[in-house]
Amino acid sequence: MNQLTQQVATALDRLTFWSVLDILIVAVIIYGLLSLFRGTSAFSALYGIGLLLIAVAVVNSLPGLVMLNWLLRNLLPLLSFGLIVVFQPEIRRAMERIGRVRSLLRRPLSPGDHESLERAHAEIARACRRLSERRYGALIVVERETGLHEYTDSGVQVDAVVSAELLLTLFFPNSPLHDAAVIVHGDRVVAAGCVMPLSESPLDSSMGTRHRAGLGITELTDALSIVVSEETGIISLMNNGRMVRHLDEGKLRKVLGVLCAPSSQPHWWWPRRGDAPGATAPS
Distance CA 239, CA 258 (A): 12
Q: Cα separation of 245 and 228, whole Å?
A: 10
Report the percent of the chain where pLDDT is more than 90. 39
The per-residue pLDDT for range 38-72, each reduced to its tens digit, is 655 566 666 777 777 787 778 777 777 778 778 87
The predicted pLDDT at position 98 comes to 63
More confident residue, 249 or 272: 249
Phi, psi of 131 (to 5 degrees): -65, -40
Question: Does position 269 have pLDDT exceeding 50, yes or no?
Answer: no
pLDDT at position 93, please? Answer: 63
- 3-state secondary structure (DSSP) of residue 65: coil
Q: What is the pLDDT of residue 16?
A: 81
Q: To the nearest whole number, what is the mean pLDDT of the chain? A: 81
Q: Which of residues 224 and 86 earns the better pLDDT score?
A: 224
Going 249 to 250 to 251 to 255, the CA torsion angle's sign is positive
pLDDT band at 266 (very low <50, low <70, confident <90, very high): very low
pLDDT at 71: 80
pTM, full prediction: 0.66
pLDDT at 223 over 50: yes
Q: How confident is the model at residue 274 (pLDDT cuts 50, 70, 90)?
A: very low
- Residue 5: band (very low, low, confident or very high) from pLDDT cuts 50, 70, 90: confident
Looking at residue 48, its pLDDT comes to 73
Q: In what order do the strands lie in the sheet with 188-194?
A: 156-161, 188-194, 181-185, 138-143, 224-228, 235-239, 242-245, 279-280
| Closest by CA position to 224, among listed 118, 131, 127, 148 | 148
Is 18 or 160 the better-scoring residue by pLDDT? 160
pLDDT confidence tier of residue 15, bands split at 50, 70 and 90: confident
Pairwise CA distance, residues 158 & 207, whole Å: 28
Average pLDDT for 256-270: 64
What pairing do the DSSP bridges indicate for beta strands 224-228 and 138-143?
antiparallel
Mean pLDDT of 245-266: 82
- Give start and end residues of each alpha helix (H) in the chain: 2-14, 17-37, 42-60, 66-86, 88-99, 111-134, 149-152, 164-170, 209-220, 249-259
Residue 204 CA, distance from chain mean position: 18
Residue 201 has pLDDT above 60, yes or no: yes
Does residue 261 have a pLDDT over 50? yes
Query: Has domain 111-280 been given CATH number 3.40.1700.10?
Result: yes
**pLDDT tens per residue across span 95-128:** 666 665 555 445 555 555 788 899 999 999 999 9
* pLDDT surpasses 60 at 237: yes
Residue with the bigger pLDDT between 98 and 2: it is 2
What residue spans define the domains of the chain? 2-103, 111-280
